[in-house]
Amino acid sequence: MVEQFKAISPQLIENESMSRHTTFKIGGDADMFVSVESIDELIALIRLAKEKNVEYTVIGNGSNLLVGDRGIRGLVIEIGQGLAGYEIRGNVIYAEAGILLKKLASVAASESLSGLEEVSGVPGTLGGGIFMNAGAYGGELKDTVTKVTYVDCNGELHTIDASECDFGYRKSVFSSGGKFIVSAELELKKGDRDEIAGKMAEYTKRRREKQPISYPSAGSTFKRPEGYFAGTLIQDAGLKGYRCGGAEVSELHAGFVINCGNATAQDVIDVIEHTKETVLEKFGVELEPEVRFLGDF
């Protein structure tokens, strides 16, 4: 059966460590892994997987994922640099889902287009960003996205307007699965190139100073509880530096669980569970992970 998938995607790899494909640098092997190079290839793989009853998982840059130590069964399809094209028409950018948000924001800035400065430091792809309605510093992707094209679990292509995307805090219509983003249209505003670049530089500076970007992580570990900040609650609970194995609540920013040295997925789970229990006990607030859990734990 593997050969049938390889007939579609010769670049397919068997028993590929997912630690190479997540920003946490954690995860066991995927039975099969492929980074697709076209929408047609993605469609063909999904249709074959359905026909052969093979489990499949679609990911982006792996920047918001924790993959289990026992890996992922079936096929993992990455929408990455093979699907990262873009085109600019006036103040509208059409971009494929695999383009990194940092790259997209840089492209927009070079054309004096404003609207992506806040997400310029989010370490994910456009597709992953839309999936979770990524945001930072008061801006979210829903502010600029006008249309999204996706492939469904039958291998059919659809385009919907932003009004149909059901954007909310760290969620969208895509979050429930079965719809795999392949491209989007974003409407930006004309601005001053230097001002745009200045804002991006300021946000980058803030991240470097306040976030543990030198360690592997999945970004903010928890969603913001209504009326609170997760990092503040965790800090006030005395959990900065709390550690299980190679996973630790960051000393720099308590909202981040980091891989500070050969952490396993179980180490991260243990830190997350202890953090949730402690914050609930001390403050009566239930923290909800922002990180997605994939595979076998």
Question: How confident is residue 114, by pLDDT bands cut at 50, 70 and 90?
Answer: very high
Q: For the chain, where do the domains classified as CATH 3.30.43.10 start and end? A: 2-81
Torsion sign, CA atoms 90, 96, 100, 101: positive
Round to whole Å and give the CA distance between 38 and 123.
22
CATH assignment of 212-294, among 3.40.630.30, 3.20.20.70, 3.40.50.720, 3.90.78.10: 3.90.78.10
Per-residue pLDDT tens digits for 154-176: 999 999 999 999 999 999 999 99
Q: Which of 35, 118, 120, 170 is catalytic?
A: 170
Q: Which of 217, 220, 248, 250 is catalytic?
A: 220
Give pLDDT, residue 267.
Answer: 98
Is 195 strand, coil or helix?
Answer: helix
Q: Is 163 annotated as catalytic?
A: no
Per-residue pLDDT tens digits for 179-236: 999 999 999 999 999 999 999 999 999 999 999 999 999 999 999 999 999 999 999 9
Tell which residue, 209, 227, 233, has the closest CA to residue 249: 233
Share of the chain above pLDDT 90, in %: 96
Contacts of 281 (CB under 8 A, 6+ apart): none
Give pLDDT, residue 161.
Answer: 98
Give pLDDT, residue 24.
Answer: 98
Question: How confident is residue 109, by pLDDT bands cut at 50, 70 and 90?
Answer: very high
Q: Which of 16, 96, 140, 290 is catalytic?
A: 290
CATH assignment of 83-209, among 3.30.360.10, 3.90.25.10, 2.60.40.1660, 3.30.465.10: 3.30.465.10
CATH assignment of 2-81, among 3.20.20.80, 3.40.50.300, 3.10.20.30, 3.30.43.10: 3.30.43.10
User: What's the burial of 283, exposed, middle or buried (CB within 10 Å: 0-12/13-18/19+)?
Assistant: middle
Say if pTM beats, i.e. exceeds, 0.85.
yes
Give pLDDT, residue 10.
Answer: 98
* Total residue count of the chain as it appears in this document: 297
Q: Is 207 annotated as catalytic?
A: no
Per-residue pLDDT tens digits for 6-59: 999 999 999 999 999 999 999 999 999 999 999 999 999 999 999 999 999 999
Give pLDDT, residue 49.
Answer: 98
Round to whole Å and give the CA distance between 210 and 214.
11
Helices (H), the chain: 2-8, 39-52, 101-110, 126-131, 193-210, 230-236, 265-283
Q: Is 290 annotated as catalytic?
A: yes
Q: Which of 16-30, 113-127, 263-277 has the lowest mean pLDDT?
A: 113-127
